[in-house]
Amino acid sequence: MNVWGKNERSWRKARKRAVSPIIATILLVAITVVLAAVLYVLISGLTHGPGSTPIGSAFSFGTATSSTCTAGQATAHLCVSGDFIYTVPVGTSTVTFASILLEVKTSAGATFVNTGAASFAVETISGTAAAYSTVAAAAGLAMSATWANYGTGYASSNTLTSLYSIVVDTGSATSTTGTGLTLVALGTGSYGDSTAPISLP
């Protein structure tokens, strides 16, 4: 026997109704936005952003040698004639010219201060400069920006392979042999951190 009246049955049916379509739409949009934000955070954490790849994993130096800059090297824009220089072959490299900055450090870890105009240059097999940058006197032997000048046929997008050498002009004719200087490459662009320092004999 049905003990419920007509009004009670209608009231029970009304209580079983779902939320309104407007509220349901708002909830679905909110859930979608939250899920999208969570996925973005997860995916961005797995990808490499600018400066996130250590330069040491893509670039290394060979063994440095010391000498005096010759007139021929000076003509090729590698150094100033008579200055004490270091020639450092590129070891392994998959980076472009624009991916590294160079710096000479003292045994105490500070930037080496050059007394005269110094420079960094990338030397080709034929002995010319593919790229070079001059450092003002007493400015500290470090590149503050990527290569200022490029040789004919070379650009920032060229790959800095093991076919090249780095020439470091110390800005003085005085030998720095045995003073504990080191050379490091700093990553720029999509690379970060720095390479392990190599000794400059």
- Average pLDDT in the chain: 89
- Other C-beta atoms closer than 10 Å to the C-beta of 62 total 15
pLDDT at residue 48, rounded to an integer: 45
Please give the model's pTM, rounded to 2 decimal places.
Answer: 0.75
Helix locations, 47-168, DSSP H: 71-75
Give yes or no for a contact between 63 and 200, defined as CB atoms under 8 angstroms apart: no
Are 79 and 19 members of one domain? no
Q: Are residues 84 and 131 in the same domain?
A: yes
Residue 158 and residue 61 share a domain = yes
125 and 178 share a domain?
yes
Give yes or no for a contact between 195 and 168, defined as CB atoms under 8 angstroms apart. no
- What pLDDT is stored for residue 14 in this prediction? 54
Q: How far is residue 105's CA from residue 183's CA, in Å, rounded to a whole number?
A: 6
pLDDT digits (tens, 9 = 90+) for 44-82: 555 444 558 999 999 999 999 999 999 999 999 999 999
Give the confidence band of 43 by pLDDT, cuts at 50, 70, 90.
Answer: confident
Percent of the chain having pLDDT more than 70? 87
Place of tokens 């010391």: 66
